[in-house]
Amino acid sequence: MGGEFVMLSLVPIAIGVLAAIACALPGNFLVLRRQALIGDAISHVVLPGIVVAFLVTGMVNSWAMMAGAAGAAVVAVMLIELIRRLGRIEPGAAMGVAFTALFAFGVLLLEQSDTSSVHLDVQHALYGNLESLIWVEATGWGSLLDPVALAGLPPELPRIAIVAAATLLYTLLLWRPLKISTFDEGFARVLGMRTNLIGLSLVIMAAIAAVAAFDAVGSIIVIAMFICPPAAARLMTNRLEVQVLWSVAFAVFSAVIGYVLAGYGPLWLGGEDAVSAAGMIATVSGLVLAIAALYAPHRKRSGAPADA
Amino acid sequence: MLIEALTLQLGYNATLVAIGAGLLGIAAGAAGTFLFLRKRALVSDAISHATLPGIGLAFIVMVALGGDGRNLAGLMLGAALTAGAGLLAMHWLTRRTRLAEDAAIGAVLSVFFGFGVVLLTVIQSLSKGRQAGLEEFLLGATAGMLYADAVLIAVAGAVAVLAIWLLRRPMTLVAFDPGFAASIGMNVPRVDLTMMGLVMAVTIIGLKVVGLVLIVALLIIPPVTARFWSNHSGHVLWIAGALGGLAGFVGAAISASAPSLPTGPLIVLTAFALFTVSLLFAPGRGILVVWLRHRRHQRRIHLRQGLLALAQELPIYERYTLRLLVRAGLARPDGVPTQAGRARAAKACRDEARWAIARRIHSHEAAVSRYDGLMPIEQVLTLDEIHEIDRQIDAGGGGCA
């Protein structure tokens, strides 16, 4: 558990944890506002975004791809609103129309363009490559203080750290308007808040978190972390402050335990190869939610009879 | 090439795929209609993603039993098992906890899919270099479709359509008014689960052709498109089936007409193209028609207000109003009314006064309630009634206010 751990596992775990936190924080409000599936839609449309970015710039540049993905997320949100308003279609179906079509477009572009030379495929988009984000320069815990080794950190780590900090800052700064507009939109409007702007900012923040996390861990964790930790936390308490703390705790727990189970679990069971860390993190978050749904103190709807 | 593909002259495999995709589209469009009418379209997303662990498990079990692990029927059975488990988990989460349905959908979708990905990597390490090829179920792969696979898809699709036809009445009732359905003794949760079961069946049938990520599109887009063309649920059902079938057939044909055109995405994009056309041009609900209707209404209001202004000899500042009056020959460009304009203005003014009186007369209440500010009074009141009102106006010496 010395140098090898720092080199192979420390960075993926850190990235997993940060990605989980960055998604779980806005996820709390999305779940409460019944917009949880926005995360699902965004993470699907990230694919056409990065493919277009690749075709335009001609290289696998992470910043260009993130810009492309963010652009695709904005296009998707606008398309959903357009279909919903102009076609007078219920939001769920509008979302289903928009993100499946955009995803299909992304797959078609990918198959049409010559991306065989670069690491860009649908599988990668879906389950990321957390395991490959190793810190080659690290030799041991001491490397954490060594500037030369620190310079060799995978660029995904600082990026997701910045985004995680941004979501934290966003949540803290907009805490009051977010809380009021989530629970009582009418009251928020009476107070003079621009509730539609608050809602839009939340979706944009979620999109940024999704895109950054997607870059490092693939879209499946993104959806799982948007929904499972906040949903489990929702069953633990009736106070939003406490719920957010629980959701962060669940997210960190899922990321760490999921990664460890994926990397070391098969070895303990006598296997040789690690299994997908992204998949395992999602699985663990699901188990957390299942346990919360069975035993958490506030799992029932308030006011419902105890054994309904 | 495309014409040949559309007329089934592009070889055995292409024909097989096109017919299979068409049948799948019909079943998906019809099954998706009830999901859409019940406002639960995205449930299909959870169901389809929940098939992945089943595919992995079925593969592992079949290999462990000495098979080759790629038998389509076996994989479909496994997919059905976990999709059913996902469906029940979702049902349980929404009914037994306070989580809303969207959170339950997202949780089931991501967790089952994540677990499926874990199983795929397990299979990869078990089969050591030998590609299991299960990834093709993510996006579908029709290139190597066997005759037996096509028959399986066709038969299962036909059974699904038949089941939808038999169950259409209870499912329609539950979709529109679950409360009433329950009050006449219908078991609403069971009808719901049956509906979901049909969606699940279609999803599993579609795994091979469009893959689990894109089957959602075939379940959602055709019903949404069909909704533009009819307000009658029975018609929406069959229009959705027809649109789905068309998208499946045409998409598969296009994909066969050139290399590196994947079938699944092309089917979805064909469906989306049909949707876009409907959104823009459908009668009644299409954007174009709604826009034209809005313009016509706007024109009538401007004209009416312009005439009232002319009658009261007020200047018209709104350019659009003046332009309309000029175009209709009712006013000169400098705002002075023509002979015809004077007559129409007087009439509009008189009508306005008549309405004001009619509103005070109790027996005309029903007629007046239909007044939207534009309707000619002759359409709701008889000539005698209008004469009576005119008498009151003249007695009061009123004209235009």
ipTM of the complex: 0.90
Domain ranges of chain B: 2-262, 288-396
Work out the average pLDDT over A16-20.
92
B55, B137 contact by CB (below 8 A): yes
Across the interface, do A104 and B221 touch by the CB < 8 Å criterion? no
What does residue B331 show for φ and ψ, rounded to 5 degrees?
Answer: -150, 160
Query: Considering only CA atoms, which of B181, B172, B199, B174 is closest in space to residue B90?
Result: B199
Question: Who among A97, A122, A276 is closest to B224 (CB)?
Answer: A97
B133 in A contact zone (CB under 8 Å): no
Chain B residue with CA closest to A223: the answer is B110
Stronger pLDDT, A98 or B213, i.e. the higher one: A98
Which B-chain residues 44-103 have CB contacts (< 8 A) with chain A?
44-45, 92-93, 96-100, 102-103
Residue range A108-118, pLDDT digits in tens: 888 887 665 55
All domains of chain A in start order, with CATH: 3-222 (1.10.3470.10)
Across the interface, do A278 and B112 touch by the CB < 8 Å criterion? no
What is the pLDDT at residue B398?
55
Across the interface, do A228 and B111 touch by the CB < 8 Å criterion? yes
Work out the average pLDDT over A234-260.
94
Between chain A and chain B, the number of residue pairs with CB atoms below 8 A apart is 216
Detail the DSSP E strand segments found in B300-389: none
- Where residue A282 falls among pLDDT bands split at 50, 70, 90? very high
Of A171-185, A218-232, A256-270, minimum mean pLDDT range: A256-270
Query: Considering only CA atoms, which of B242, B249, B252 is closest in space to residue B222?
Result: B242
What is the pLDDT at residue B217?
93
Neighboring chain A residues of B114 at a CB cutoff of 8 Å = 220-221, 224, 278-283, 285-286
Neighboring chain A residues of B222 at a CB cutoff of 8 Å = none
Question: Who among B41, B261, B285 is closest to A92 (CB)?
Answer: B41
Cα distances from A95 to residues A90, B66, B222, B223, in angstroms, run: 9, 43, 14, 14
Q: What is the dihedral of CA A5, A11, A16, A18, to 10 degrees?
A: 130
Q: Compute the nearest-CA separation of A37 from chain B (Å).
A: 6
Neighboring chain B residues of A108 at a CB cutoff of 8 Å = 261-262, 265-266, 269
B125 in A contact zone (CB under 8 Å): yes
What is the pLDDT at residue B255?
87
Across the interface, do B261 and A275 touch by the CB < 8 Å criterion? no
CA distance B385 to B377: 10
Across the interface, do B114 and A220 touch by the CB < 8 Å criterion? yes
Is the pLDDT reported for residue A306 higher than 60?
A: no
Is the pLDDT reported for residue A162 higher than 70?
A: yes
Neighboring chain A residues of B275 at a CB cutoff of 8 Å = 97, 101
What does residue B216 show for φ and ψ, rounded to 5 degrees?
Answer: -55, -40
What is the pLDDT at residue B400?
59
- Where residue A149 falls among pLDDT bands split at 50, 70, 90? confident
Neighboring chain B residues of A271 at a CB cutoff of 8 Å = 122, 125
Work out the average pLDDT over A51-62.
79
Percentage of chain A exceeding pLDDT 70 = 91
The DSSP line for B73-116 is: HHHHHHHHHHHHHHHHHHHHHHHHSS--HHHHHHHHHHHHHHHH
What is the pLDDT at residue A257?
94
Q: What is the dihedral of CA A83, A85, A90, A96, to 10 degrees?
A: 20
CA distance B118 to A286: 13
Is the pLDDT reported for residue B130 higher than 80?
A: no
What is the pLDDT at residue A308?
38
Q: What is the mean pLDDT of chain A?
A: 85
Chain A residue with CA closest to B36: the answer is A93
* b/e sequence B307-334, b meaning 16+ C-beta within 10 Å: bbbbbeeeebeeeebbebbbebebbeee
What is the pLDDT at residue A276?
85
Residue range B233-292, pLDDT digits in tens: 889 999 999 999 999 999 988 888 887 788 889 999 999 999 999 999 998 888 899 999
Stronger pLDDT, B158 or A274, i.e. the higher one: B158
Is the pLDDT reported for residue B63 higher than 80?
A: yes
CA distance A263 to A285: 16
Q: Compute the nearest-CA separation of A144 from chain B (Å).
A: 31
Residue range B181-203, pLDDT digits in tens: 999 988 888 888 888 889 999 99
Question: Who among B110, B121, B223 is closest to A220 (CB)?
Answer: B110
CATH class of the domain comprising B2-262: mainly alpha
Question: Who among A90, A105, A262 is closest to B39 (CB)?
Answer: A90
Question: Who among A34, A97, A298 is closest to B100 (CB)?
Answer: A34
Is the pLDDT reported for residue A175 higher than 80?
A: yes
- Where residue A164 falls among pLDDT bands split at 50, 70, 90? very high
Neighboring chain B residues of A100 at a CB cutoff of 8 Å = 214, 216-217, 220-221, 268, 272
What is the pLDDT at residue B388?
82
Q: Compute the nearest-CA separation of A171 from chain B (Å).
A: 20
What is the pLDDT at residue A305?
47
Neighboring chain A residues of B139 at a CB cutoff of 8 Å = 107, 122
Chain A residue with CA closest to B265: the answer is A104
What is the pLDDT at residue A4?
74
Neighboring chain A residues of B56 at a CB cutoff of 8 Å = none
Across the interface, do B122 and A275 touch by the CB < 8 Å criterion? yes
Is the pLDDT reported for residue B83 higher than 50?
A: yes
B243 in A contact zone (CB under 8 Å): no
Neighboring chain A residues of B279 at a CB cutoff of 8 Å = 83, 86-87
Across the interface, do A273 and B125 touch by the CB < 8 Å criterion? yes
Is the pLDDT reported for residue A137 higher than 70?
A: yes
Across the interface, do A293 and B97 touch by the CB < 8 Å criterion? yes
For tokens 């919903």, name the residue: A84
Work out the average pLDDT over B332-349.
87
Question: Who among A35, A87, A282 is closest to B110 (CB)?
Answer: A282
